[in-house]
Amino acid sequence: MKDFRKTALKAQKKSQGCLSISCSLPLKKEADLGNCYYPGILGVLGKVQESPALASKFRKPMIGIISTASKEQLALISAKAAIVSQLLHCTAIPLLIGYQHPQELTSLIPSLSKGLDALFFTDSSKLEAEIVQQSAQLLAIPVFFQKELEAGAAMAALLNGIKLLGTSVKKAQIIVEGTGQTVESLLKLVAHFELENVTLIDERGPLYTRRPNMSREKNELLESFPRKKDARTRDEVLNSCDVYLSSLPAVRTATTGKLPEKAVIISLSAEHIEVRPKQCLASTLPQLANHFTDLHLLLGLLDALQSGKKLNDQSVSKAIVALANMYKTPKRDHLIPGLLEKNLAQKIAKGL
């Protein structure tokens, strides 16, 4: 398996990172500066002041790619900004914001949104996301969250995994192992897509409301996704599984060896994965065939905005269906399209 950590060091050192900002007008003669900057820019500003609606005619859509973490995250959000800018022909800007108390985000978000067409938060905590969502209701631009869109792409892979198995969403036996915001976001989608047989498990077996000796994270997960008491063992649950979804850092044969021979496995974060030959795997690892990321849906949603469509509470769900439906007959190594598939964003946007 290719070691991208080593190859990226070489590639990004040579190119000095993966993001650059360049002038879209020629700058070969002194006169070119007049069109790009002064005094030509005064003509553009005057026209926009006369008719503010024309502003979008004089610039590409501008997207804020935001991190609230440490400065080490700047490389990550710069990489996302580079991909979004190139694939969508827009201007994605990496923004690193800091604060002392999460409530400060209430005043920061309106300031950040000025001049931008959308905001994308890459690593917000659950509390930060709640505050941002409350503030976003007052904004005229959409706000997206990495964990939600990553869960949406995983759901598209899950839906096509069910198609691959020849069963239905109402009959498929689905196991979810692990906690975290992406898992929580995915479980919120379960009811919308009418997935009726979902079991949460850990190393001790099924999770259920008021099961003794559970961690705080598992209890919080069950508050939003309550489960009835389940007396089955872990192995019994695994043996009857159609789709196994995990947010654990590793997926090993101790688990996958107990799953049916043709089970679909979806990994949200593992870098070490062991599966049986006929099992179907979808993962966030870019070197694998069924690779999904938060950017799959982000590109489609942003393309819809660029084409003038209005987004609403159902837009993400529609984007998930559009992504899944790009493959009418999924195959084991083609559950969902790759991020670089031709016209990916446009095809997702068409489904909104």
Of 270, 252, 200, nearest to 228 by C-alpha is 200
Confidence of residue 1 (pLDDT cuts 50, 70, 90): low
Domains annotated for the chain, with CATH where assigned, are 15-145 (3.40.50.10380), 146-352 (3.40.50.720)
Residue found under tokens 């939003």: 224
CB–CB of 255/241 below 8 Å?
Answer: no
What are the tens digits of pLDDT across the range 33-65?
A: 898 888 888 998 898 889 887 777 888 888 999
How does DSSP assign 59-86, residue by residue?
Answer: S--EEEEEE-S-GGGHHHHHHHHHHHHH
List the one residue out of 254, 28, 276, 293 whose CA is nearest residue 154.
293
DSSP secondary structure of 158-215: HHHHHHHHT--TTT-EEEEE--SHHHHHHHHHHHHTT--EEEEEETTEE--TT-SS--
* pTM for this model (two decimals): 0.89
Q: Dump pLDDT digits (tens) for 59-107.
A: 888 899 998 877 778 888 999 999 999 988 889 999 988 887 878 888 8
Q: What does the pLDDT read at residue 326?
A: 94
> Has residue 342 got a pLDDT over 80?
yes
Over residues 207-212, mean pLDDT = 92
Which tokens hold the place of 102?
């999460």
Of the pLDDT bands very low, low, confident and very high (cuts 50, 70, 90), residue 30 is confident
Distances (CA, A) of 234 to 11, 199, 265, 276: 44, 11, 16, 19
- Read off the pLDDT of residues 110-126 as tens digits, 9 standing for 90 and up: 887 788 889 999 988 88
Name the strand (E) or helix (H) holding 47. Answer: helix 40-50
Q: Which of 167, 191, 163, 187 is nearest to 177 (CA)?
A: 187
Q: What is the pLDDT at residue 123?
A: 84
